[in-house]
Amino acid sequence: MSAVSTFARRLAVTKVSASNTSFIASTATRALSTQSFAQGRPGHADPAYLLAMAAAAGLAATTAGGVAHCEREGAVRDPKTTYGITAENAMKMDLKKRLSQQPEKAPLPKVLEPVEDVPAKPSRQEEVPVVINATSPAATEKPAASPDPHAEPSTHMTPEEARLEAATLKAKKHGGGLKLFSGNGNMGLSLEIAKLLGVNLGRATVSSFADGEINVMIHENVRGKDVYIIQPTCPPVNNNLMELLLMVSCLNRASARRVTVVIPYYGYARQDRKMQARVPISAADVARLLESMGVDRVIAVDLHCGQIQGFFGPRVPVDNLEGGVVGIDHFGGKDLHNPVIVSPDAGGVYRAKKFKEGLAYKYGWEDAGIAMIIKQRARAGSVDQMDLVGDVKDCDCIIVDDMIDTAGTLCKAADVLVAKGARRVFAFASHGLLSGPGNERIANSNLEECVILNTIPSTPQRAANEKLVELSVAPLLAQTIFNIHAKRSISALFK
């Protein structure tokens, strides 16, 4: 019996489901590859051949039941975070609203009389029972069911086929379609994301030689895989950036199918334009470096300026995640009096507006106001003067920014708000660099509470600061990685 006919017989007794489609497709492909050809043309009239062709072409990797299947035993678990659940509920409500708005169709005229029920014809099994005579061959016992739901009866495979199939299943068990790697930038965040996705971090060596050069080595097979590298370019910026570039190069040379970099904090983002003569646009230069290394996609959190997405070419899509959605859940549970969202500069008004809209949509803060501080810098890292636009008297204020570096601007903004009559002042920022005296300034400031995300690894000094609260961005990043891998919408997470 040919390999295709053997596969057709196996397919007839195999229950096709979302979990074994890739297994059936791979079996069909192997069957087709061993099919004999007559004069260079296969037997197209062979029903078994057509059945195998349909299985090989149609039974591909699929997404069902909250699991993205790329290979058998290589599934990535849906983290089911609040962002994903909220997006699903919003889509269901939108669909329900659309269905309710559709006009009801008039019933079709009844032109046929009801037909009396005809008794169903008994099946073949009920017509004539099979009787084994004394001269018939003895009926063999059916083999015991295998604990593996995808395993096939041993009578359907030769010992050689069973050995090859076992080796194939073992290889697939240890290699899924998604691989997650991390540099030394923020290992804690990477482990948290891997735990939410239900996968292990890939085995790799990222270290330095005695002379300071970066050493990168991948210790597992990534050929044909979708690889995600989690590496913020936070201090030490140049070391982390070089680690990221070399990891991308290493994975591309190892024949990875697609390389996506997850950059929770994008270094050099503040140098996004020429403010004076003879200065570089470093944010664009970093984008060119990543693109030249062969990056296929970039995931970032709260880029300093949205135009950084345009520094990458059209073949490298950039997903700029809004870290404010994490802070919305934190401040939404607080009892604030006359809340006002404050932007510390003119460029952050849009960010403050989105933060206000999120609070209004999710927690009903429709009466929240917006204010803005206009600052004049004497030089980089130093503010000369601040002027407030808006009314904050007898209000609880939330200063929303993308990052806190030395905290000089933030603390001075808090002083201005308190001087204008604010009751309490809170602060939220996605990236807490806290360079130099930043942590000490926040501890001695007029801020009631300063909330940051863990896009940058924490330190014992930060943990000792009672005014500093660190939230995790891992659920948002894990849900985003899963949605990209499962080809789902990302914008739905922020509606």
Alpha carbon of 2 to those of 7, 16, 235: distances in Å? 9, 22, 62
Query: 3-class DSSP state for residue 226?
Result: strand
Antiparallel, parallel or unpaired: β 340-343 and 369-379: parallel
Selecting among 353, 375, 420, 467, the annotated active-site residue is 375
Q: Fill in the amino acid letter for 266.
A: Y
Neighbour order of strands in the sheet with 369-379: 382-389, 369-379, 340-343, 396-404, 424-432, 449-453, 468-471
Token code pair at residue 193? 């994301």
C-beta separation of 48 from 31 below 8 A: no
> In which residue are the tokens 């299947």 written?
69
Known catalytic membership, residue 92: no
Alpha carbon of 170 to those of 27, 71, 74, 190, 300: distances in Å? 15, 12, 11, 27, 35
Instruction: Compute φ and ψ for 110, nearest 5 degrees.
Output: -90, 110
Residues ≥6 apart with Cβ < 8 Å to 436: 406
C-beta separation of 193 from 226 below 8 A: no
Neighbour-count burial of 262, counting CB atoms closer than 10 A to its CB (0-12 exposed, 13-18 middle, 19+ buried): buried
Cα 10 to Cα 4: distance, rounded to the nearest angstrom: 10
Query: 3-class DSSP state for residue 322?
Result: coil
Active site residues: 375
